[in-house]
Amino acid sequence: MAAAVASFLLGRGAQPCGTGSRRLTKEMVENADLVLGAATEHREAAVRLSPVRALSRAFTAREFAQLVRSEDAAGLVDPTARFPALVKGAAARRGVMSARAGDIEVMDPLGAPAEQVHRCLVQIDEAVERIASAMRTG
C-alpha cells in the first residue's frame, strides 16, 4: 500500500516523505478551526473529545467537500476571513443535506488490493481539490 500511495503522490507533484498518522487529542481538536477525518467514526471521535468545539467543526473530508460553498465567503478575499465563513456555512448546511455514509466516507484501504487503494486516493484527492477550490475562489 505504501508504494501505491507514494506513486500516487509523486504523480501529483507531492513528496510522500514525512507523512504519517498520530493519535487525535483533545488539545488538537480544541485548537483546530476544522477537523477532517476519513470516516464518520473519526468525526465522532473528535466530537467526543471536545463536543462544544468540534460539533460545528468536525466533518469527514468528503462530507465537507460536498457541503462547502464558495458563495458562503463571497466578497471575502482574505483567507483568514474566508475560511471561518466556509466552515460555518458547511456546518449550517449539514442538517439540511442528507447523504448516505458511503457517500461521505473514504473506505479504509489497509490490506486492500491496489485498485481499491487507488480508488481511496482518488476520493481524497477529489475532496481536497473541491475544498481548495472553495478556498481559492474569491
Average pLDDT for runs of 10 along the chain of length 138: 77 78 93 94 96 95 94 86 93 74 80 86 93 83
Give alpha helix (H) positions in 17-109. 26-31, 40-49, 51-54, 61-67, 79-94, 101-104
Q: How far apart are CA 99 and CA 60, in angstroms?
A: 12
What is d(CA 53, CA 34) in angstroms, rounded to the nearest whole number?
Answer: 10
Q: Domain limits of the chain?
A: 2-14+61-136
What is the model's pLDDT at position 64? 96
